């Protein structure tokens, strides 16, 4: 038997195993009362804190996404276990960002620092100087991406050239502008957000391409799914929609460009609701769900958070509440008895399969984000 047949057989067996395993998990009885949701969230926190993981460094984007979820969980529940985790990691990190000042990923951790600073009564407990240094350099100084000199296939010729960046940096910039009462940061954020929007947003599908490799150019070489449709990555669009909910939550109601973000949120939310699978969880490939026909937790978690937030804040009709609760049930069914959140696609940039045993801290962050808003649903 040649290698290509063996490889194909391995993929088929993996997908079959994933499907059977998730169908079994989905049969678990999931309680939707607030006490059960809060217990599930605390179990997720405790397991993740006991099993630290990161891609590059404890201050990288994976931790940033995770601790954003922890912050929002505290905002809703006021449970001090979340605040203790936030303070412990901030002090351990010496309130530092990661080192690549041109890279949006490396300031995501500052959302948690800002949250602590805004909720800590002790003066000078939080040190936001590293965050200020990062943002001032990132937004207001030149770099190779801004200059347009990069020649890679991803076309790294704007600051936020990949859609994930719209979760990593804009909510931090927005919250920093609010905290410091300096609108120049918000204006810079809008400038770079619009660059990414104009390049990556597909107005026919109301979804974001992950980067320029996935934007159709009318060429035979355009990337397509096996069913011939465009490639739209679930977690990538989850980053954007979840980021929009975070942005709008802290953005001034009278900000002149707020309407743009509200309209974008509504367009994307309508699309995500329209393509929600019957079991409640979105597949890693949004327009080719059959490619990896099992739910995935990180993208689905961000969607659940953003959709519940929209209902709770009057941007979405309450008629969508059953869809969001169905999504939460699907997410909760992916949690192991010990608290670990499975079915998280590993670090990547396009649709790939997950499994019951695949986990990442950003998946836990998405889970906590989702729970933080589902708790508020009536």
Active site residues: 164
* Contact status, residue 19 vs residue 294, Cβ threshold 8 Å: yes
Residue 354 half-sphere exposure, CB side, CA atoms within 13 Å?
Answer: 33
* Nearest to 239, CA basis, from 5, 65, 368: 65
What contacts 195, CB < 8 A, 6 or more positions away? 158, 159, 160
* Contact status, residue 367 vs residue 375, Cβ threshold 8 Å: no
* Contact status, residue 53 vs residue 361, Cβ threshold 8 Å: yes
**Distance (Å, whole) CA 328 – CA 35:** 14
What contacts 218, CB < 8 A, 6 or more positions away? none
**Distance (Å, whole) CA 52 – CA 121:** 28
* Contact status, residue 89 vs residue 74, Cβ threshold 8 Å: no
What contacts 253, CB < 8 A, 6 or more positions away? none
**Distance (Å, whole) CA 215 – CA 224:** 10
Phi and psi torsions of 313, nearest 5°: -110, 15
If DSSP codes are grouped into helix, strand and coil, which group holds residue 316? Answer: coil
**Distance (Å, whole) CA 365 – CA 334:** 14
**Distance (Å, whole) CA 327 – CA 334:** 11
* Contact status, residue 280 vs residue 326, Cβ threshold 8 Å: yes
* Nearest to 188, CA basis, from 135, 151, 150: 135
* Nearest to 22, CA basis, from 310, 330, 301, 232: 330
């Amino acid at each position: 038997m040649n290698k290509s047949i063996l490889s194909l057989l391995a993929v088929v067996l993996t997908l079959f195993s994933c499907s059977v395993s998730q169908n079994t998990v989905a049969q678990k009885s999931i309680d939707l009362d607030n006490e059960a949701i809060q217990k599930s969230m605390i179990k997720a926190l405790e397991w993740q804190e006991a099993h630290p993981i990161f891609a590059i460094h404890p201050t990288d984007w994976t931790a940033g996404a995770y601790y954003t979820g922890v912050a929002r969980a505290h905002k809703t529940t006021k449970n001090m276990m979340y605040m203790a985790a936030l303070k412990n990691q901030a002090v351990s990190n010496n309130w530092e960002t990661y080192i690549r000042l041109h890279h949006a990923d490396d300031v995501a951790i500052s959302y948690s620092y800002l949250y602590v600073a805004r909720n800590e009564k002790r003066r000078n407990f939080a040190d936001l100087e590293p965050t200020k240094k990062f943002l001032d350099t990132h937004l207001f100084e030149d770099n190779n991406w801004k200059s347009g000199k990069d020649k890679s296939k991803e076309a790294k010729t704007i600051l936020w050239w990949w859609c994930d960046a719209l979760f990593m940096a804009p909510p931090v910039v927005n919250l920093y502008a609010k905290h410091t009462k300096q609108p120049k940061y918000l204006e810079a954020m809008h400038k770079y957000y619009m660059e990414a929007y104009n390049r990556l947003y597909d107005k026919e599908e109301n979804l974001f391409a992950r980067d320029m490799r996935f934007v159709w150019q009318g060429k035979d070489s355009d990337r397509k799914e096996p069913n011939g449709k465009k490639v739209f990555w679930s977690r990538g669009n989850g980053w954007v929609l979840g980021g929009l909910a975070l942005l709008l939550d802290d953005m001034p109601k009278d900000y002149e460009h707020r309407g743009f973000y509200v309209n974008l949120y509504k367009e994307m939310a309508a699309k995500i609701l329209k393509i929600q699978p019957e079991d409640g969880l979105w597949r890693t490939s949004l327009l080719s769900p059959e490619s990896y026909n099992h739910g995935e937790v990180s993208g689905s978690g961000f969607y659940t958070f953003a959709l519940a937030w929209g209902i709770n804040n009057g941007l979405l009709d309450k008629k969508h509440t059953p869809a969001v609760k169905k999504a939460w049930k699907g997410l909760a069914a992916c949690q192991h008895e010990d608290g670990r959140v499975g079915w998280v696609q590993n670090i990547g940039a396009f649709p790939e399969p997950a499994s019951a045993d695949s986990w990442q801290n950003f998946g836990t962050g998405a889970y906590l984000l989702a729970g933080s808003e589902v708790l508020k649903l009536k």
